[in-house]
Structure 1
């Protein structure tokens, strides 16, 4: 698939977020070449009158000046070093990062400003940046989450067509963990009738723990308008027998009730407890140097 990369400067780097476990988001790219069929960002694209179907991911905006803008924003007197989530909307380690290195530059700026951040990705390219992640972790709290919904090859190929194989992601978890980077694994999203099989969940949790994941958690698929249409179309191509069940489960709603999601989360929590193993403690931020008062 041919992808167009549009080099466009940005006016702001940090975006204020409400109702989430982080205060700000940072996305060096807009649009994602991974093209996951279940991507929730498709819903926002549809609301903005941008393509959310198979055209999504064919045009990527590259915020070529994002690190410079970020440096200025972090230097403001009003900046309180609140938590920043990197990659909340688009994967910061999609293929474009190999050329542009914007995520790497942003990590360096966040570390220099002693700003805590989390990063979520499906891209094993992050192994390249172990050095700057370790340096940042020595100055502020850093957490990396790898999204690994399943190890099943058919499900992965059909639902995450532009991503690296799940086991390559787990190898990256191992590399980061051994370097002292606090790294967890998210089974997200778990797909009802596909990847929610207990045996498949157990495979991911077991291998995530073996790779050194500090934590493992799960989230079940939600389908907002925009995402729903594309996902169900893709589901109809690969698993048409599941369409009636999805029509029932998601009738009139985007989120499944706790009665449907909690058993999956409870299963993953239980597996995470039983597969826990000692691991290298992550790098802890060093205390800030104290400014000595001058006595005249």
Structure 2
């Protein structure tokens, strides 16, 4: 699949977020070449009247000046070093990062600015940036989450066509944790009747723990308009026998109820507790230097 890369400057790097466990988001790219069938960003693209179907991921906006803009925003006297999520709406380590290195540059700026950040990715390319992650973690709290919904090869190939193999992601978890980076694994999204099978959940949790994952959590698929149409179309192609079940399960709603989701989350939590093992401590940020007052 050919991908068009549009080099376009941005006016702002940080975006204010409400109702989330982080205060700001940062996305060096718009669009994602991973093309996951369940990607929730497709819903936002549809609302913005941009392609959310098979055309999604074929045109990537590259914010070529994002690190420079970020540096200026972090230098403002009003900046309070609130938490920043890198990659909330695009994978910061999709293939474009290999050429443009924008995520790497932003991590460096966040570290210099002593700004805590989390980063979520499916891209093993992050191992290239262990050096800047370590530098940043010595100045502020850093957390990396790897999304590994399943190790089942058929499910992975069908639902995450542009991503690296899940086991390669877990190898990268080990590399990051060995370097002292706080790294967890997210089983998200889990697909009802597919990747939420107990044996598949246990396999991911076991391998994630073996890789040194500090935390393991799960979430179940939600289907907003835009994502819904594309996912169900892909489901009809790859697992047609499940299509009626999904149409009934998600009829009139995007999110499953807590009563439906919580048992799966609790099963993952129980597996995580059962496989807990001591791990190498993560890097702890050094405290800010105190300015000495001169006696008068």
Structure 2 counterpart SS, 1:171: helix
Distance, in Å, in 2 between the alignment partners of 1:286 and 1:46 is 44
Distance, in Å, in 2 between the alignment partners of 1:282 and 1:131 is 14
What does residue 78 of structure 2 align with?
78
Shift of the alpha carbon at 1:293?
1.2
CA RMSD of aligned residues (A): 0.5
What does residue 130 of structure 2 align with?
130
For the pair 1:275 / 2:275, whether they are aligned, the reply is yes
For the pair 1:150 / 2:134, whether they are aligned, the reply is no
What does residue 52 of structure 2 align with?
52
Distance, in Å, in 2 between the alignment partners of 1:291 and 1:266 is 47
Distance, in Å, in 1 between the alignment partners of 2:54 and 2:116 is 35
Shift of the alpha carbon at 1:237?
0.1
User: Deviations for 1:207-245, whole angstroms, at most 9, x for unmatched residues?
Assistant: 000000000000000000000000000000000000111
For the pair 1:259 / 2:262, whether they are aligned, the reply is no
User: Deviations for 1:177-204, whole angstroms, at most 9, x for unmatched residues?
Assistant: 0000000000000000100100000000
Distance, in Å, in 2 between the alignment partners of 1:81 and 1:148 is 29
User: Deviations for 1:99-132, whole angstroms, at most 9, x for unmatched residues?
Assistant: 0000000000000000000000000000000000
Structure 2 residues without counterparts, runs of 5 or longer? none
Shift of the alpha carbon at 1:166?
0.1
Structure 2 counterpart SS, 1:185: strand
What does residue 169 of structure 1 align with?
169
The 5 Å alignment of 1:1-296 reads 1-296=1-296
Aligned residues: 296
Structure 1 residues without counterparts, runs of 5 or longer? none
User: Deviations for 1:40-94, whole angstroms, at most 9, x for unmatched residues?
Assistant: 0000000000000000000000000000000000000000000000000000000
Structure 2 counterpart SS, 1:104: helix
Distance, in Å, in 2 between the alignment partners of 1:193 and 1:130 is 37
User: Deviations for 1:237-295, whole angstroms, at most 9, x for unmatched residues?
Assistant: 00000011101110100000012111110100000000000000000000111111123
Superposition TM-score, scaled by structure 1 size: 1.00
